[in-house]
Structure 1
Amino acid sequence: MSAIPLGVRPALLLGVPNRITLVRTVVAMVIAAIAFRTGALSWLVIGYAAYWIGDMADGAVARYRNEESVAGAVFDIVCDRACSFLLAAAFMATFPATIGPLAIFLVQFGVLDKMLSLAFLLWPGTLSPNYFYKVDRPIWLWNWSKPAKAVNTAAVVISLIVAHHTGAHWFPYGIAIGALVVKVASTYRLLTILRGRRPAVPALAA
């Protein structure tokens, strides 16, 4: 048996899913740089589309090819932050009115959500946050179920675009604060589980 953990074997590190993650990250970051330079909302939309489509594709390919790995999950989490932070920076530079809600989003996504996303590492055998339902279903449901993943970043970005066209600048604040509340509640629940004050509620299937 190999002494190298499954999650870091070269065959998986250099596999197709991680290549997709790398490519979509580079593409999204290049487009974000173009958005910085041009100040065009269209480039921001294209950048987020590249990020989201690539993020869905790398996971789908990993599952299809049976190449899911701990290292791949961590790489994906890190790349998600790289994409989000640079695209958000381009958004804020282009449209200063977005600074407030995006600052709230970046705090929760860059700190709380990152901590939550990496928490699966505390439970050996859990390949990624997608399988956190095996540890605690409520936290998984709030953060990595399909509806939760769909709105995690998209809801804030879409609300910013809506606000840009309608002038309803309160809308993205509401979405960003709502997302922050979910992350705070999830973090609190995780900490109480880790400290033994609350039993985890695992599920046998998602």
Structure 2
Amino acid sequence: MSTTPLAVRPALLLGLPNRITLVRTLIAMTVATFAFRTGDLAWLVLGYFSYWFGDSLDGWVARKRNEESLSGAVFDIVCDRACSFLLAAAFMATYPETIGPLAIYLAQFGVLDTMLTFSFLLWPWMLSPNYFYKVDRPIFLWNWSKPAKALNTGAVVVSLVVAGHTGAQWLPYVVAIAALAVKVVSSYRLIMILCGRWLAAPGNPR
């Protein structure tokens, strides 16, 4: 019996990118727990920073070391949801006025964005959503290009901070609804492509 599968799996699961993902998730969730206890905005800011920085770092390391893997992509996606949900819950507990826009955000990120992100698994040759432009460039640009990734969570959080300092409580709702609209349009386009009703538009990542 070949021992190759047993030799490969530890390398994929225990590689440096996955270890970074694990550590940054533990740090972000620990900081979010402190935010729950203290109600201090500084802990929330630190939690989001550690989440975003770690999320960028593990992907960069994986590409730099040529260690991208299917298991790593799935692990990263799951950890992103864990961090986002706990940090959002801490935000809502600390600032109840954020419950409305964050509920909209969690609905789109936890349901529609999760479905979209995992759709890369439908193409066995694709290692992560970062290569979805090879299937459909518009969906990639709206969801996984660098600006789209930055805006998906960052815009909502920044708008909440701005609203807290200016009193513009409408702003987070506008941002959250706009993000939801992007996910709805992207999901509809993906479904039409999968059903064969629309042609996919592969292209380059820029």
Q: TM-score, normalised by structure 1?
A: 0.96
CA gap 1:3/1:117 in 2 versus in 1, 3 angstroms: farther
* Deviation for aligned residue 1:4: 3.9
CA distance in 2, matches of 1:162, 1:79: 27
Q: Which amino acid is the alignment partner of residue 28 of structure 1?
A: A
Superposition pairs for residues 133-144 of structure 1, below 5 Å? 133-144=133-144
Between the aligned partners of 1:197 and 1:47, the Cα distance in structure 2 is 43
Relative to structure 1, the CA distance from residue 4 to residue 119 in structure 2 (aligned partners, 3 Å threshold; closer, same or farther) is farther
- Cα pair distance change 1:3/1:195, threshold 3 Å: farther
- Counterpart for residue 36 of structure 1: 36
Aligned to 1:100: 100
For 1:172 and 1:204, the matched residues in 2 are separated by 32
Question: Following superposition, which runs of at least 4 residues in structure 1 exceed 6 angstroms of deviation?
Answer: none
Deviation for aligned residue 1:38: 0.1
Paired position in structure 2 for 1:58: 58
1:204–1:151: structure 2 CA closer, same or farther, 3 Å change rule?
closer
Deviations 1:83-118 (A, max 9, x none): 000000000000000000000000000000000000
- In structure 1, the partner of 2:196 is 196
Name stretches of at least 5 consecutive residues in structure 2 with no aligned partner. none
Percent of aligned pairs sharing the same letter: 72
The aligned residue for residue 180 of structure 2 is: 180
Alignment of 1:1-206 (within 5 A): 4=5, 9-204=9-204, 206=206
SS at match of 1:198: coil
SS of 2:126's equivalent in the other structure is coil
Per the TM alignment, residue 150 of structure 1 is displaced from its structure 2 partner at its CA by 1.0
CA distance in 1, matches of 2:140, 2:49: 24
Gapped regions of structure 1 (runs ≥ 5): none
Q: Using the alignment, how far apart are the partners of 2:195 and 2:159 within structure 1? A: 37
Q: 1:124 deviation in Å?
A: 1.1
Distance between the aligned counterparts of 2:204 and 2:60, measured in 1? 21
Question: Equivalents in 2 of 1:104, 1:56: separation in Å?
Answer: 24
Task: Please report how far the alpha carbon of residue 205 of structure 1 lies from its aligned counterpart in structure 2 after TM superposition.
Answer: 5.2
Q: Tell me the CA shift for residue 199 of structure 1.
A: 1.1
The number of residues matched between the two structures is: 205
Cα RMSD over matched residues? 1.7
Looking at structure 2, the residues matched to 4 and 201 of structure 1 have their Cα atoms a distance apart, in angstroms, of 36
Shift of 1:53: 0.2
TM-score under structure 2 length normalisation:
0.96
* Letter of the 2:133 counterpart: Y
Structure 1 residue 9: Cα displacement:
2.4
Instruction: Tell me the secondary structure at the aligned position of residue 165 of structure 1.
Output: helix
> Displacement, 1:204?
4.8
Cα distance in 2 for residues equivalent to 1:205 and 1:186: 16
Give the letter for the 1:173 counterpart: Y
Q: Deviations over 1:21-66 (max 9, x none)?
A: 0001000000000000000001000000000000000000000000
Alignment check: 8 A CA contact 2:137 2:205 kept: no
